[in-house]
Amino acid sequence: MFGGAGDQWKNEWQEKAGRALSGLKDMVYARGGTYLGVYGGEEEISFLELRQEDGAWRIGRQAEEKWQRPEDFSELAELLAERTAQRLTREGWQDLPLALCLPEKCFLCHLFPISTAIPLPEQRTAAYWEMDRFLQDCGLSPEMVKCISLPLPDRTDMVEALALEREKISMLEDAFGRRGCPLAGLYPETPVLLECQSGSCGWQIGEAEISPAAEAGGTEEHERRPLFAAAALAGLGRQGWPENLLEDKGEVNGWNYEGIGRAASILTGVLLILCLSLDLGEFFLTSRAAEEAGRQLAELEPARQAMEADRKMIAAAEVKEACLGRLTEKSRPLDSLLIHLGTVTVEGAWLTEVDCTEEKILHLRGEAVDYSALGEFLEAFERDSDFFSAVPVLEESRQKEGLVEFRLKVEMGI
């Protein structure tokens, strides 16, 4: 945004930020329990209690002192401090934060126009330089006075700048301090007083509603100025209210333990909700990952089952192969033996039985047409020394029905 619209938007957001910070401050700090406002008028000194009870603001006790306001400021400071100290002692107000509203005639006042589009901090800077020129015309330097500025409530295009000599501020602080009633706030009587709106139900200051005193039926005009001072010290006015003229003095605040407890509870709740949200988010992501993994496992299940069946078949084959190996570990190659025996042939002799129950020993039975054929058969075994390690032994021979039956014992080399 640019131009007047942009400045208006900026001002609105600054005002919202100020309200938010004020609300946060109210939650953490307690704005005291009771404030005492004092105003020195022409013929009387007005005193007014501003109480906070159960979160609501109410006007408490009030009192007045008759006097004739001196023209000399040093006399005014001394007499006002003396009469105030006496009243505080009589009423038991010695320990209350004390805010003083000074008449406008005690200040150097200067009105000048200013654009409403300029934010409040820039307005105060412009007022400072405008007041600097005004003070030079009055023969004063900026170091000699304390200046404040504020826009007029009924003229938003006008700013009022006020200056009070630091010497006068010191007079007031010293006079009140010597009498045991030090000032906590010092405010000028300015047109801002118009913002203390009166009504049948009490006073309206900023966003705060202040109920009248219990014995009063409504608001009274003489309450406005001491109420203004007490409310300014309590921080009830808007952002543009006058600043406290006392050095290093501001609102009198104490710890609002109930507000701190609420803030701590809210913060704890937010942290718990955040942690719960993080846990739920992590649980959701983990569930999604588990579902995705389950889906992938379901897709791979047929392949897994096929691999498991193949593994079982391979294991069974390995078991069978191991059993076959154990069975054939000590066995002889009978096929090769029979084939080799078939090569040992002699005309007129043949085998009828082969017994290989003994390890590396063969018992052979056979028949021959005569003993001459049997001898040639034995010689054939003797020549086969690579297969048979020893000479065959003729264990038995006999003639039967014109043939020679024999039984041989042969040692194998395999």
In a shared domain, residues 245 and 298: no
In a shared domain, residues 198 and 63: yes
Q: Which pLDDT band, with edges at 50, 70 and 90, does 32 fall under?
A: low
In a shared domain, residues 300 and 338: no
Nearest by Cα to 386 from 334, 331, 335, 336: 336
- Reply yes or no on whether the pLDDT at 269 is more than 80: yes
**Tens digits of residue pLDDT in 80-134:** 999 999 999 999 999 999 999 998 888 888 787 877 677 767 776 777 777 777 7
Q: Measured between alpha carbons, how far is 110 from 149 in angstroms, rounded to an integer?
A: 9
- Reply yes or no on whether the pLDDT at 216 is more than 80: no
**Tens digits of residue pLDDT in 308-321:** 888 888 888 888 78
Q: Which pLDDT band, with edges at 50, 70 and 90, does 44 fall under?
A: very high
Angle at the Cα of 81 from the Cα atoms of 36 and 62, rounded to 5 degrees: 30
In a shared domain, residues 90 and 167: yes
Single residue among 292, 309, 331 that ends a domain in this structure:
331
In a shared domain, residues 71 and 167: yes
> Do 186 and 245 contact (CB within 8 A), yes or no?
yes
- Reply yes or no on whether the pLDDT at 72 is more than 90: yes
For residue 10, what pLDDT is reported?
62
Beta-bridged to residue 34, according to DSSP, are 51
Supply the CATH number for residue 354's domain. Answer: 3.30.1360.100
For residue 214, what pLDDT is reported?
66
In a shared domain, residues 278 and 319: yes
Residue 13 falls inside a structural domain: no
> Do 364 and 377 contact (CB within 8 A), yes or no?
no
| pTM of the entire predicted model | 0.53
**What are all long-range contacts of 20-27, with beta carbons under 8 Å and residues at least 24 apart?**
22/235, 25/253, 26/256, 26/259, 27/256, 27/259, 27/260, 27/262, 27/263
In a shared domain, residues 97 and 177: yes
**What are all long-range contacts of 129-135, with beta carbons under 8 Å and residues at least 24 apart?**
130/161, 131/161, 131/163, 134/108, 134/110, 134/161, 135/108, 135/163
Residue 384 falls inside a structural domain: yes
Q: Provide DSSP, 309-341.
A: HHHHHHHHHHHHHHHHHHHHSS---HHHHHHHH
In a shared domain, residues 221 and 239: yes
Q: Measured between alpha carbons, how far is 87 from 94 in angstroms, rounded to an integer?
A: 9
For residue 249, what pLDDT is reported?
56
What would the two tokens of residue 269 be?
């709740």
In a shared domain, residues 371 and 268: no
Residue 379 falls inside a structural domain: yes
> Do 38 and 101 contact (CB within 8 A), yes or no?
yes
Residue 11 falls inside a structural domain: no
The amino acid present at 151, given as its one-letter code, is: P
In a shared domain, residues 188 and 318: no
Q: Which of 32-36, 192-196, 276-280, 408-412 has the highest mean pLDDT?
A: 276-280
Single residue among 236, 255, 274 that ends a domain in this structure:
255
Residue 9 falls inside a structural domain: no
Burial readout 358-378 (b: 16 or more C-beta within 10 A, e: otherwise) = eeeebebebbbeeeebbeebb
What would the two tokens of residue 234 be?
């309590």
Structural domain boundaries, residue 320: 264-331
Q: Which pLDDT band, with edges at 50, 70 and 90, does 331 fall under?
A: low
**Tens digits of residue pLDDT in 148-174:** 777 776 666 777 888 888 999 999 999
* Segment 207-212 mean pLDDT: 82
Q: Report the mean per-residue pLDDT for the chain.
A: 79
For residue 8, what pLDDT is reported?
59
Single residue among 306, 331, 356 that ends a domain in this structure:
331
What would the two tokens of residue 311 be?
């593994």
What would the two tokens of residue 303 be?
């392949």
**Tens digits of residue pLDDT in 368-382:** 888 887 788 778 777
In a shared domain, residues 34 and 164: yes
The total number of structural domains in the chain stands at 3
Share of the chain above pLDDT 90, in %: 18
In a shared domain, residues 280 and 339: no
- Identify the DSSP state of 68: -
